[in-house]
């Protein structure tokens, strides 16, 4: 209710949106960062004629598109909101794509609550949007001054808020959010180049929570509470009405085609007909992260929609290879992982094929954004470098030891973990075609190339890298641990034990058929090894494969079991209990304790 006047004036006079063609790239974007104001958004859709009375009354009912918070099950919603502090950062990504990549005339309108202004992600967005001079972005702050428990620290002090936004480089307009003339003038100012001076605009709208209904107006304690007397409230608000607003459509002649200039130029540059991935000679020593950088750059050459977002670590992730080759499609948001993911989502919303990469450990910073990307059903491609203890002396703060667990627990996600340069190239190419949330675990270490460039991989696949006719035990690994597993197989031969080694490069979905066949062929003896905490990673993914089937092998899971400190790669792999010697020991124990008849195999 505090933002109703703001939205009404926007729809009536400033928003340009064709509700019949939500996919028109010239449409403005309207994002409710304060997702809990969903009823107002749905009311706006009804006023625009996009939904009818019957659907309106299905709010929060089972099967309804009108959920408690907005999601893209509604075609006019770009991303799900409801976790505060996310709508604006993603809106910044959308505005960035529209202005710098698409050359679309559209504007991005974001309605923010004043409570969510205490989320740091909002200030990451304010900072970056100003630095990128996104004058096609308009933020409307519904400063009703009341959070759930009491005064909103900033909303209750709009002068302070204005001061901060100015300091962050924004064009700020301070208005009475219930004065329709002031609102209209503010929107006009937000779209006037002379006033914005290539700055994003923030409209600080001083409003009243529960505006228009005396029983709750400006009062605390009614957040997400039902009205005692809704009928009286409706009367107080002017009674039942059926306003229909003709929302202006975007000019068709500016239908979001690419701005002439670099973009078109880069498209016309001699684009190779097919993707030529960099190839590596079997046996060569190559840093897997370097192969990632090269493959990403190659992808950029053939796919002109590929864009990459970085958080100040391009030289460590090797994203710099892409940045050097395709500088206009590379965005470094600086050290701000939540923003990095939000920008990638925003670019993707505008139809770009976005990748974002940083240290695997620091992606944990953006887990809530990843979680919400799955709720949105948007495509999000993330790459994490420096996983596990194998990174060496930098210490535990830099080691990604929970990333596999984090990304496996994202609905519908794909989790890939290559072990050599050629496999990295191919999995990255597959990832570019993948929808939904996907994660690629890169590796800092220099490792021998074990695959030919001709070897083929697939999402959901695996590769048997070592096998004989009569194997005694199966060892399942991925990434650097796969190399330790191969070395363990050699150690085992000295004890007359033959190991079948499986490269489980697709951690999710996992290749259940191959794993089951291997378990059957190796007497129901299976060892998993991973450079990750024991919970939620590769080992658990393998256990899952055998939970509800007739033949259930005995599975020894090796993973990082103690908090790592300083040391070299080899010292830390040994201390973690995941090097070849530990794998061989576990395999031997299994072979000695598990007689074939012990298992149902």
Q: Which residues are catalytic?
A: 337
By CB under 8 A, is residue 554 in contact with a second copy? yes
Residues within window 19-48 making contact with a second copy, judged by CB under 8 A: 35
What's the min distance (Å) between Cβ of 583 and a second copy? Answer: 14
Count of other CB atoms within 10 angstroms of residue 180: 15
Cα–Cα dist 398/362, whole Å: 8
Query: Which of residues 295 and 323 has its CB atom nearest to a second copy in the complex?
Result: 323
Would you say 453 and 389 are in contact if contact means Cβ atoms under 8 Å apart?
A: no
Q: Is residue 315 within the footprint of a second copy (CB under 8 A)?
A: yes
Give least dist CB 504 to a second copy, A.
15
Rounded Cα distance, 63 and 508, in Å: 29
Interaction of residue 75 with a second copy, rule CB under 8 A:
no
Stretch that binds a second copy, among 205-213, 282-290, 456-464, 560-568 (CB under 8 A): 560-568
Q: Which of residues 117-156 bind a second copy (CB under 8 A)?
A: 118-124, 127-128, 131, 147-149, 152-154
Residue 78 binds to a second copy (criterion: CB under 8 A): no
Residues facing 529 on adjacent strands: 558
Q: Which is nearer to a second copy, 137 or 333 (CB)?
A: 333
Q: Indicate which single residue of 5, 28, 102, 116 sits in contact with a second copy (rule: CB under 8 A).
A: 116
Q: Of 181, 87, 206, 74, whose CA–CA distance to 139 is shortest?
A: 87
Q: CB-wise, 109 or 128, nearer to a second copy? A: 128
Angle between helix 538-545 and 512-521 (nearest 10): 80
Binding residues for a second copy, rule CB under 8 A, total: 117
Binding mask 173-212 for a second copy (x = CB under 8 A): ----------------------------------------
In 3-state terms the chain splits into helix, strand, coil percentages (rounded to 5) of 40, 15, 45
Annotate each residue in 479-508 with x if it binds a second copy (CB under 8 A) or - if it does not, as one string: -----------------------------x
Nearest to a second copy of 27, 100 (CB atom): 100
For residue 521, the minimal CB distance to a second copy (Å) is: 18
Closer to a second copy by CB, 250 or 479: give it. Answer: 479
* String of DSSP letters for 99-149: IIII-----EEEEEESGGGGSHHHHHHHHHHHHTT-TTEEEEEEE--B-SS
How many other CB atoms are there within 10 angstroms of residue 258's CB atom? 16
Q: Which of 14, 99, 326, 552 binds a second copy (CB under 8 A)?
A: 552
- Of 13 and 379, which has the nearer Cβ to a second copy? 379
The three-class DSSP label of residue 355 is strand
Query: Which of the residues 399 through 428 are near a second copy (CB under 8 A)?
Result: 401-402, 405-406, 408-412
Burial status of residue 135 (CB atoms within 10 A of its CB: 0-12, 13-18, 19 or more): buried
Q: Is 163 in the site for a second copy (CB under 8 A)?
A: yes
Which of 112, 313, 345, 414 is in the footprint of a second copy by CB under 8 A?
Answer: 313
Q: How far is CA 490 from CA 99, 433, 581, 584, in A?
A: 57, 37, 10, 9
- Interface characters, 320-349, with a second copy (x: CB under 8 A): x-----------xxxxxxxx----------
Interacting residue with a second copy among 302, 368, 459, 512 (CB under 8 A): 368
Does 396 bind a second copy (CB under 8 A)? Our answer is yes
- Greatest Cα pair distance, the chain, in angstroms, is 88
| Angle (CA) 504 505 511, round 5° | 50
Shortest gap between Cβ of 446 and a second copy (angstroms)? 17
Q: Which is nearer to a second copy, 501 or 572 (CB)?
A: 572
Q: Which residues ranging from 372 to 391 are in contact with a second copy (CB under 8 A)?
A: 372, 374-375, 377
Helix (H, G, I), strand (E, B) or coil at 227: coil
By CB neighbour count within 10 A (0-12 exposed, 13-18 middle, 19+ buried), where does 550 fall?
A: exposed
By the rule CB under 8 A, 171 interacts with a second copy: no
Applying CB under 8 A, which part among 10-18, 104-112, 360-368, 425-433 lies near a second copy? 360-368
CB of residue 592 vs a second copy: minimum separation in angstroms?
13
Q: How many CB atoms lie within 10 A of CB 46?
A: 19
Cβ at position 340, least distance to a second copy in Å: 10
CA–CA separation, 154 and 491 (whole Å): 64
Q: Which residues contact 293 (CB under 8 A, 6 or more apart)?
A: 317, 318, 319, 320, 321, 322
Tokens matching residue 234: 């409706």
Cβ–Cβ under 8 Å, residues 78 and 70: no
In angstroms, the CA 573 to CA 556 distance is 17
Q: Which stretch binds a second copy (CB under 8 A): 99-107, 240-248, 259-267, 368-376?
A: 368-376
Question: What is the token pair recorded at 246?
Answer: 């003709």
Binding range to a second copy, per CB under 8 A, among 15-23, 24-32, 284-292, 540-548: 540-548
Residue from 56, 303, 571, 577 that binds a second copy (CB under 8 A)?
571
**CB 350, min distance to a second copy, A:** 22
Cβ 122 to a second copy, closest distance in Å? 7
The reply on whether position 519 binds a second copy by CB under 8 A is no
How far apart CA 408 and CA 395 sit, in angstroms, is: 24
Instruction: Verify binding: residue 579, a second copy, rule CB under 8 A.
Output: no
Instruction: Give the torsion sign (CA, 547, 553, 559, 561).
Output: positive
Question: Interface residues for a second copy in 276-305 (CB under 8 A)?
Answer: none
- Of 119 and 503, nearer to a second copy (C-beta) is 119
The pair of structure tokens assigned to 276 is: 């030529």
């Amino acid at each position: 209710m505090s933002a109703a006047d703001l939205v009404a004036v926007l729809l009536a006079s400033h928003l340009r949106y064709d509700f019949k063609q939500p996919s028109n790239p010239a449409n403005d974007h309207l994002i409710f960062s304060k997702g809990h104001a969903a009823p107002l958004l749905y009311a706006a859709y009804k006023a625009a004629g996009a939904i009818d009375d019957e659907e309106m009354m299905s709010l929060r009912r089972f099967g309804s598109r009108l959920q408690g918070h907005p999601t893209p099950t509604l075609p006019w919603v770009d991303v799900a909101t409801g976790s505060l502090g996310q709508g604006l950062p993603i809106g910044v990504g959308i505005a960035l794509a529209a202005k710098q990549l698409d050359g679309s005339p559209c504007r991005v309108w974001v309605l923010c609550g004043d409570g969510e202004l205490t989320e740091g992600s909002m200030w990451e967005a304010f900072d970056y949007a100003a630095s990128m001079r996104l004058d096609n972005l308009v933020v409307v702050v519904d400063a009703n001054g009341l959070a759930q428990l009491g005064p909103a620290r900033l909303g209750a002090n709009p002068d302070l808020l204005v001061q901060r936004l100015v300091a962050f480089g924004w064009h700020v307009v301070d208005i009475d959010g219930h004065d329709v003339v002031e609102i209209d003038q503010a929107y006009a100012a937000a779209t006037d180049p002379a006033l914005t001076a290539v700055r994003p605009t923030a409209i600080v709208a001083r409003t009243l929570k529960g505006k228009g209904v005396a029983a709750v107006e400006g009062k605390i304690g009614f957040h997400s509470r039902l009205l005692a007397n809704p009928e009286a409230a409706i009367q107080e608000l002017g009674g039942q009405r059926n306003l229909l607003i003709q929302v202006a459509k975007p000019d068709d002649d500016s239908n979001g085609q690419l701005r002439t200039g670099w973009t078109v130029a880069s498209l016309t540059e001699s684009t190779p007909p097919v993707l030529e991935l960099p190839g590596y000679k079997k046996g060569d020593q190559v840093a897997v992260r370097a192969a990632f950088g090269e493959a990403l750059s190659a992808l950029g050459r053939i796919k002109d929609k590929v864009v990459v977002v970085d958080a100040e670590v391009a030289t460590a992730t090797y994203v710099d290879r892409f940045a050097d080759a395709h500088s206009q499609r590379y965005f470094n948001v600086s050290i701000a992982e939540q923003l990095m993911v939000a920008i990638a989502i925003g670019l993707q919303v505008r139809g770009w094929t976005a990748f974002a990469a940083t240290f695997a450990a620091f992606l944990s910073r953006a887990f809530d954004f990843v979680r919400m990307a799955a709720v949105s059903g948007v495509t999000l491609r993330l790459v994490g470098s420096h996983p596990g203890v194998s990174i060496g002396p930098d210490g535990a703060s830099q080691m990604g030891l929970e990333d596999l667990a984090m990304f496996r627990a994202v609905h519908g996600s794909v989790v890939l973990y290559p072990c050599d340069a050629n496999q990295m190239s191919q999995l990255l190419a597959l990832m570019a075609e993948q929808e939904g949330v996907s994660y690629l675990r890169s590796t800092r270490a220099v490792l021998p190339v074990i695959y030919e460039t001709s070897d083929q991989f697939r999402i959901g696949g695996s590769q048997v890298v070592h096998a004989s006719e009569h194997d005694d035990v199966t060892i399942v690994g991925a990434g650097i641990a796969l190399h330790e597993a191969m070395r363990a197989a050699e150690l085992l031969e000295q004890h007359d034990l033959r190991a079948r080694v499986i490269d489980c490069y697709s951690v999710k979905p996992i290749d259940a058929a191959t794993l089951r066949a291997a378990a059957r062929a190796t007497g129901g003896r299976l060892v998993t090894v991973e450079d990750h905490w024991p919970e939620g990673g590769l080992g658990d993914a393998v256990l899952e494969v055998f939970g509800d089937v007739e033949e259930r092998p005995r599975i020894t899971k090796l993973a990082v079991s103690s908090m790592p400190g300083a040391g070299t790669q080899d010292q830390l792999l040994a201390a973690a209990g995941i090097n070849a010697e530990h794998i061989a020991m576990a395999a031997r124990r299994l072979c000695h304790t598990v007689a074939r008849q012990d298992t149902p195999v």
